[in-house]
Amino acid sequence: MTANRRFRSVIRIGPVQVATAYDDRDREKHTAAYTAPRCGFSADYDSRAAAELAARTHRCPVR
């Protein structure tokens, strides 16, 4: 099943986008997603600080 989320508070940290949304159980989740082609990094976190830290420290192996 695909996730149909409404993202809010979207910011961009380099090539990574960080956004906030509610999951299927109505819990607030924060997502960090790498926007460069061929990377595939994205993850959900419980806190905004964790998502922003992941965005700042992610190093893409594909160059």
For the stretch 31-50, pLDDT in tens is: 999 888 888 888 999 999 99
61 vs 63, more confident = 61
12-16, 24-28, 46-50, 58-62: least confident range = 58-62
The sign of the CA dihedral 12, 17, 18, 20 is positive
Work out the pLDDT band at 62, boundaries 50, 70, 90.
Answer: low
User: Is 19 in contact with 9 (CB distance < 8 Å)?
Assistant: yes
Work out the pLDDT band at 1, boundaries 50, 70, 90.
Answer: very low
Q: pTM, whole model, 2 decimals?
A: 0.78
